[in-house]
Amino acid sequence: MGKKFYITTAIHYVNDLPHIGHMYENVVADVIARHRRRMGDDVWFLTGTDEHGQKIERSAAKEGIEPIELANRVVANHHELWKRLNISNDDFIRTTEARHRVGVLELIRRIQERMPDDIYLGEHSGWYCQSEETFIPENQVKDGKDTDGHAVEWTTEKNLFFKLSRYTQPLLEHYRANPTFVYPQTRLNEVMAFVEQGLKDLSISRTSIKWGIPFPGHQDHVIYVWMDALTNYISALGFGSGDHGKLDHYWPADMHLVGKDIVRFHAVYWPAFLMSAGLPLPKQVVGHGWWLRDQQKISKSLGNIVRPDNIIGDFGPDPFRYFVMREMVFGQDQDYSDEAFLTRYNADLANDLGNTLSRAIKMSDTYFGGKTPPTPCEDNDLLRAAQQIVPEYLALMDECAFSRALDAAWRLLVAINGYIVSREPWKMFKENGADESLSRVIWNSLEALRIVWVMVAPFMPATTREALARLGANPDAIAAGDLAWGGLANGGPVRVTDPIFPRADAAQYIGGNKLEQQPPAQETPSPETTQAAAPDMEKISIDQFFQTDLRVAEVRAAERVPKSKKLMKMTVFTGDEERTIVAGIATKYTSEELVGRKIIIVANLQPAKLMGIESNGMVLAASINGEPSLLSVDPAVPAGTKVK
Ligand code: MSP
């Protein structure tokens, strides 16, 4: 086994289903874990769920259920999602597990033993942010809000405190001695600027919350959710259990991968707790950027959640994984849209990667009887291109510059296409048949393609296996050594079959109302059934249902969208205004059939552009084999009437 590599994600709150931000984080961690594994490291990859604290307590109370019931329901969804996305985590920790409680209590015990006055009972007043469950420094509060826009309240509390102030200097020294401790640099600068102001002691217990681990010796206090949550990284390795085999082997973590909003907790509080307890510090805290929707962070509190279930369901996990890794410049923020996904899917995957693969395999099949050509080649343009690109790719992977690493792989793809076009193998075959020169040209193209796919492997693991098999290569040969030139067998079987990424009709896909915010079809649960139906992750609460504003609308005008088979542009009246809605119903309805009709619309959907037309809402229709059937209502019901 190579050197150990322990990577963690943040543990995700269970007050809501995972969204694209959570998915992104786990995909990034998975790409890193898969890449390190294939480079020979002994990888341990941990993810999990953060189940204690006020957020969960409140969300459960809203539904009238126990916090653990909510957690059990949502956690089932996490497991299912990570399976669907092919996340290769080695362990999954829930903060409600016994092993975690043991670890948290052991951390506190060690702090109390080693630094007896680091934890003390005290009183503190300050700006408290309920949403983050933390005090916010005075200079970060403006008009009753913190820098993230969360409301803060002036609060006084008698609590247990951690002497964080004692760690200001040791932390600064640690950052200076380890300039990549926080990565990228911008995040380090932010952390250092924060610590340089001088750290205040941290309140680490709560009496207002019941849902958590009771503080030892102070049973009416629960342990501060962040102290509880951060300990997952060692509790999952058996910290405090008496069996420290995994802990001794994998700790300290090599990388805590988290979003930029929680870098501070990982790079300031966590190392301070560890210093106090006499435990080694993680090697690196890496902060990724945010997925945005209309330039705002996607989050439950803002109500602009994106869950691309349709995309993953319809295209499989790999195109989604590729898209998020390619589209987002690591560390920066990125706006999400289905349109951007479809553009990349068609251009990068269906066209560049998929077509080049089909084309090269087809030629090998035709010219060399279903096999890879008989002659290898050790001196050619593609070999030189691969030898230049692979080291660049590896360096970019080490820097977490995933978008650029993929770009490097695509440069080899461009070189392959250029090579094929300039050699004109179809002419060579016509003129001289399947001779040695042709054998070299085709084999070189296939071999370079194999290397492209080996580069792509951590991003699209399932499709890579399929592509390698089609190329006549070993589907599991994706290790570091397989990036070297010369791995493709001569005379191996190639497989000509359907396109690996079938082209998508973007307008039709989006016009078919497959908007990313549309929840999967489901029955509306009554409050009673919500309570009774326990771990069914597709169910939503009645509150969630009521977030959808359904209204009766009257169609006042309708015309087909030019150049679209499916799309109809309608002007509808909603009782107080007219608005435009574009819907994929033109295969079934004519404008005459629509005008005057009363339909049901989702009135509070964010606008979306369909073939350049802004659509403000969505019509409800049943779909029978793709054929829409509009929901209608008694014509006497006035436009604007709420539907529930
Ligand atoms: N439970 C805490 C983390 C405790 S770790 C000891 C938490 N949970 S969270 O569910 O709110 O967020 C989990 C991770 O998802 C965090 O790293 C967070 O930054 C990330 N994201 C949440 N929304 C995001 C986006 N819109 N975009 C990208 N990632 C973001 O914080």
Q: Is the pLDDT reported for residue 528 higher than 60?
A: no
Span 457-467, mean pLDDT?
98
Instruction: Note the pLDDT of residue 49.
Output: 98
Residue 101 Cα to ligand 1 midpoint, Å, equals 22
User: What is the CB neighbour count within 10 angstroms for residue 84?
Assistant: 15
Classify strands 255-259 and 4-9 as parallel, antiparallel or unpaired. parallel
Instruction: Note the pLDDT of residue 221.
Output: 96
Cα angle 355, 356, 360 (rounded to 5 degrees) comes to: 115
307 lines ligand 1 (CB under 6 A): no
% of the chain beyond a pLDDT of 90: 76
Q: Please tell me the distance from the alpha carbon of residue 313 to that of residue 335, in angstroms, as a whole number.
A: 21
The better pLDDT of the pair 610, 264 is held by 264
Query: 522 pLDDT band (50/70/90 cuts)?
Result: very low
DSSP secondary structure string for all residues of 424-489: -HHHHHHHH-S-HHHHHHHHHHHHHHHHHHHHHTTTSHHHHHHHHHHTTS-TT--SGGGGSTT-SP
Residue 9 Cα to ligand 1 midpoint, Å, equals 9
Residue 408 Cα to ligand 1 midpoint, Å, equals 29
Q: Is the pLDDT reported for residue 513 higher than 70?
A: no
Instruction: Note the pLDDT of residue 157.
Output: 81
Contact 204, 221 (CB under 8 A): no
Residue 145 Cα to ligand 1 midpoint, Å, equals 20
224 lines ligand 1 (CB under 6 A): no
Instruction: Note the pLDDT of residue 133.
Output: 76
Instruction: Note the pLDDT of residue 136.
Output: 87
SS3 318: helix
Probe residue for ligand 1, chosen from 49, 104, 235, 262 as the CB with the greatest number of ligand atoms within 8 Å: 262
Contact 224, 133 (CB under 8 A): yes
Instruction: Note the pLDDT of residue 508.
Output: 80
Span 589-616, mean pLDDT?
87
Q: What is the position in ligand 1's atom list of the atom closest to the CA of 9?
A: 17
Query: 266 pLDDT band (50/70/90 cuts)?
Result: very high
Q: What is the pLDDT of residues 294-352, one digit of tens each?
A: 888 888 878 888 888 889 999 999 999 999 999 999 999 999 999 999 999 999 999 99
Give me the half-sphere count of Cα atoms (radius 13 Å) on the Cβ side of residue 634: 5
Residue 66 Cα to ligand 1 midpoint, Å, equals 23
Span 476-495, mean pLDDT?
97
14 lines ligand 1 (CB under 6 A): no
Q: What is the position in ligand 1's atom list of the atom closest to the CA of 270?
A: 6
Span 412-429, mean pLDDT?
97
**Minimum mean pLDDT among 86-95, 110-119, 628-637: which range?**
628-637
Residue 556 Cα to ligand 1 midpoint, Å, equals 44
In this structure, which residue's CA is closest to atom 15 in ligand 1? 22
Contact 487, 477 (CB under 8 A): yes
10 lines ligand 1 (CB under 6 A): yes
> Is the alpha carbon torsion for 540, 543, 548, 553 positive or negative?
positive
Instruction: Note the pLDDT of residue 531.
Output: 28
pTM for the full predicted model: 0.80
299 lines ligand 1 (CB under 6 A): yes
Instruction: Note the pLDDT of residue 605.
Output: 84
In this structure, which residue's CA is closest to atom 30 in ligand 1? 21
Residue 10 Cα to ligand 1 midpoint, Å, equals 6
DSSP secondary structure string for all residues of 244-310: -HHHHHHPSPSEEEEEGGGHHIIIIIHHHHHHHHT-PPPS-EEEE--EEETTEE--TTTT-----HH
230 lines ligand 1 (CB under 6 A): yes
**Minimum mean pLDDT among 15-19, 189-193, 318-322: which range?**
15-19
Give me the half-sphere count of Cα atoms (radius 13 Å) on the Cβ side of residue 190: 17
Residues forming a β-bridge with 50: 13
286 lines ligand 1 (CB under 6 A): no
511 lines ligand 1 (CB under 6 A): no
Residue 14 Cα to ligand 1 midpoint, Å, equals 11
Q: Is the pLDDT reported for residue 637 higher than 90?
A: no
Contact 533, 575 (CB under 8 A): no
291 lines ligand 1 (CB under 6 A): yes
Q: In the numeric block, which tokens belong to residue 124? A: 């503190």
In this structure, which residue's CA is closest to atom 20 in ligand 1? 259
Contact 28, 325 (CB under 8 A): yes
In this structure, which residue's CA is closest to atom 29 in ligand 1? 21
SS3 369: coil
Span 472-479, mean pLDDT?
97
Q: Please tell me the distance from the alpha carbon of residue 3 to that of residue 613, in angstroms, as a whole number.
A: 54
The better pLDDT of the pair 561, 269 is held by 269
